[in-house]
Structure 1
Amino acid sequence: MRRRRWKRVLIGAFAGCAVLADAGAAAAQAAASTEQLAISTPPAGSAAWVQDHAFGRALPDPATADAATVAAFFASLTSDELDHLIHEYPLVVGNFDGAPPEVRYRANRVAITAERDRARARAADHHLDSGARALAVSRANDCEHLLAPGRQILAFDPRGRGLISEVYGDLASAERISVLVPGSDADLGHFDQAVEPLRSPAGMARALLAEEQHQAPGTRTAVVAWTGYVTPSGLGPDAVTARLADAAAPRLERLLGGLKETTSPVAPPALFCHSYGSVVCGTTAPDIARPAGAATGSEGITDVVVFGSPGMGVQSASELGAGVQVWATRNPSDWIGNVPYLEVGGLGHGADPTAGDFGAEGISSAGAVGHNGYFAPGTESLHNFSSIALGRYGSVSHPSPDAR
């Protein structure tokens, strides 16, 4: 009983620090937050998929098949077989890392259309209470926006608050690929915001792609906004433990495995990890292997950029493995700097990645304001993110000793 009481006190201390640093809306959000149910199982339709022997052979199991197996399977399909699977199992195909991106885009349009129609039917069902109908209207509107021409939805799962990932640029031809891993409150309903777009994964991804194209118009780039895990809601208990990050890491690993099979960039995709997303990246990093032939130097190493980070779950960058190069920044007005950088009994996320003794490469975020200002036009952080994504490391600016 005493241990549980102490754990609640620690949770309150962590959340309280964040709330005091960013009072008002964040305080209300923290008060209303609840623990989230992580999604770790394959999408709806997977059980029927596994039992389907219409082609006279077993289909790869969404729960266990690696990306290479998935890629080989989809390469073996005829166009008729592919059309059948897309329309019969759109959620399975649309979320299958290792399937060709264009196939996933097609499948996810089918899945999103079905979810939009289901939500519209619920919105019109007067047997439901007004709150349920309002949520259905919101879900239908979110889906309708994703069906706009030109959108490339790489993953879509309507369970819970909704998981969604989108590609900006052309993955098939990209020489450089970036993956944005967002933090708390990222979900289907907050994926692409018209008001304050740089608070949303879609807005951040668009800003990064635009800066890359500005810096290197002759380089083919693509950015994946990956909201492929259940994020913490608000500043409650989930935000101060690694529980959701532990469930997210295998999903991020599968994404990277799928990109390895279906794309051919000149370097591994760079990871851009915001806020709690840096905990996800820290949990994933030890399983990112140093590629063969890269025993020295940075050739083939995965760049992991953390910003607005509460920690990466470790005390130093050396604990994250030899396969990653960690870059870190935090602007002075970001409230996350007031959160305790420690880990006690599973609460907290370890050392400050921007501290000099952590071992990350510090980068400047001059001009950025607040926890969500790192992708604002004209900021050093946006310039530096793009330079890292492009492999132009000599163009990266670093914080002054005083700023650090």
Structure 2
Amino acid sequence: MTRPRVSQVEQWRPDDLRAAADQLCAAAADVHERVDGTVRGVVETEDFWTGSAAEAARREAVLLGRESDASARALVMAAVAASDGAKQIAAARDEVLTRVADARSEGFAVGDDGSVAVGTDPSPLLVALSGGDGGVARDMLALRADALSAQIVDALDRLGAADADAGHDIAEALATPVAPAPPSTTPAGAWPVQAGDVVAGWSGLSQDRIAEQIAAMTPEQRRRLVTEFPRQVGNTDGVPWPMRIEANRTNIAQAILDEEDPARLAVYRALLSEVDDPAGGGRRVDRQILAFDPARASLVELHGDVSTAGSVAVLVPGLNTTITGSPAVNQTARRFVSATRGEVAAISYLGGPFPRGDDPASALLSAADPRYALEMAPRLVAFSEDVDRTVDSTAAPVTYIGHSYGGSILGTAEALGLTGDRTLYVAAAGSGVGVDDPADWHNRNPHVLRFSMTAPGDFIQAVQGIPGGPHGADPDEMPGVIPLATGHYDDGRLMAGPRSHSDVLNSPSDSWRNILAVITGDRAAIQLAG
């Protein structure tokens, strides 16, 4: 990293980088649209154009399309990096200019390297405050100059770091590899054939077997899997998480090229952007997407570092959760990471479509449909196996949190064999579809601890445990489930009423700290319901 000069900073124009990002995005869309149309025009000639020349032309067109798609995705990722970099550079530049202006307004001289020198004699007021001693006053000015110099140099270093990070991210995006085209003839046992066969066979293999296959591959073979089969690699349990994260960057970039809805585009671009490390330390880090499939409404994101965390939480949200609305769910998960400075790693789990309703009547009707829980629960069970394998080396306990309709999803998953150390039903719609008794749960961990909480006056109480209800028994009344107190907001108000349905999980409160205590296993901090 090179520390910029003050004169350079004054001339920098971060908006130019933003404009370049917009141009890159436009270029990516143009390349994708034009080449895709051309390729389709050649490929769709099979009915009337035959022969070896026609086959060669179609083969070359497909190769061109592959290269074009990869180039367009690289441009998208570079555009996101440039836009994110422009934002960080602009903020760091503003800090430098503000500190320089403040120093000059106090009468100090600021050097081009950021050093600050005393520019004038002490004012009469400062001399008077120094007991009339001019030497003491000058010493005070020198100390102030040293402090301002340290602040400006530190701001210059942060700006230099932001600039270097942006340049690295843009260059990395533009260097995205293009998947090689399979040869027209391939020797028996050659890797391109094996790669396709391996991926095609994953649906019939256990996660352990998939993990073993990948562990036996060379680094180059693993890279080719990510490059050639990003959709499968990014969304298959059993594939190591670093590979899934890398593949899903490609999948997200492709979704940006294919998407037209502005709200979805904004969310997708944010998924490719860096974020402040939720564990603290002031670093910017890439987002860690473990699954991304808009066609299945699937988005699973890891927050924090499972290799160093002492505890892991998996959050399953509820009614009206969508990929477009996922930022709110992600913020909920990140709070657990931030509050513990990375001692907790959290996963926000959107494993498929959730029930939706735009008004109370349609929301109630949609939430009464058990279909969403029945469809998502098996996927959550499979993911829990993947989580268990991934964190096994650290022995970090894993807590699954089901909020609202997510409680029914979690309970249904427990009935189907979810693996978890602790489960927590927060304002849950029920204990799971068909779960009326603790014996209906079949968590593969025989020592699982179960907890529940619902604030008084939460509207969910109207449907919890109703006879013949679609979501099973009320988890707050289920034998063996430990009931937790919801307590008060931090401003002293009782955690109660309709707003508590979401606040119990999100607002600074006794209930939030109770949830955190369950995640971390801090038994002394867990408050039971009275």
Cα distance in 2 for residues equivalent to 1:289 and 1:335: 28
Mapping of residues 4-403 of structure 1, within 5 Å: 54-56=192-194, 58-60=197-199, 61-119=201-259, 123=260, 136-149=261-274, 150-159=286-295, 162-192=297-327, 200-213=328-341, 220-234=343-357, 235-263=363-391, 264-288=393-417, 302-313=421-432, 314-321=435-442, 322=446, 324-339=448-463, 341-344=465-468, 347-355=469-477, 358-366=479-487, 367=489, 368=495, 369-400=499-530
**Maintained 8 Å contact 1:177/1:265:** no
The one-character-per-residue Cα deviations of 1:154-208 (angstroms, maximum 9, x if unpaired) are 1100105x3111111112333311110111221211100xxxxxxx321210122
Aligned AA for 2:425?
A: V
- 1:375 deviates by 2.8
**Maintained 8 Å contact 1:177/1:221:** yes
The one-character-per-residue Cα deviations of 1:89-141 (angstroms, maximum 9, x if unpaired) are 2111111112121111111100001101111xxx3xxxxxxxxxxxx222211
TM-score, normalised via structure 2 length: 0.55
Cα distance in 2 for residues equivalent to 1:343 and 1:210: 41
> For 1:372, what is the secondary structure of its paired residue?
helix
**Maintained 8 Å contact 1:388/1:396:** yes
The one-character-per-residue Cα deviations of 1:202-233 (angstroms, maximum 9, x if unpaired) are 121012222333xxx7xx32111011122111
Cα distance in 2 for residues equivalent to 1:237 and 1:62: 37
Aligned AA for 2:372?
A: L
Aligned-pair RMSD on alpha carbons? 2.3
Q: Which has the larger radius of gyration?
A: 2
> For 1:154, what is the secondary structure of its paired residue?
strand
> For 2:347, what is the secondary structure of its paired residue?
strand
The one-character-per-residue Cα deviations of 1:220-269 (angstroms, maximum 9, x if unpaired) are 32111011122111225442132221111110111111122222342441
Could you list the runs of 5+ residues in structure 1 that have no partner in the other structure? 1-51, 124-135, 193-199, 291-300
Cα distance in 1 for residues equivalent to 2:471 and 2:322: 22
Q: Which residue of 1 aligns with 2:48?
A: none
**Maintained 8 Å contact 1:351/1:358:** no
Aligned AA for 2:483?
A: G
Cα distance in 2 for residues equivalent to 1:63 and 1:360: 36
Cα distance in 2 for residues equivalent to 1:203 and 1:395: 23
Cα distance in 1 for residues equivalent to 2:417 and 2:453: 22
> For 1:85, what is the secondary structure of its paired residue?
helix
- 1:340 deviates by 5.3
Q: Which has more helix, going by share of residues?
A: 2
Could you list the runs of 5+ residues in structure 2 that have no partner in the other structure? 1-189, 275-285, 358-362, 490-494
- Give the 3 Å change call, closer, same or farther, for CA 399–151 of structure 1 in structure 2: same
- 1:53 deviates by 6.8
**Maintained 8 Å contact 1:340/1:348:** no
Q: How many residues of Structure 1 are paired with residues of Structure 2 in the alignment?
A: 308
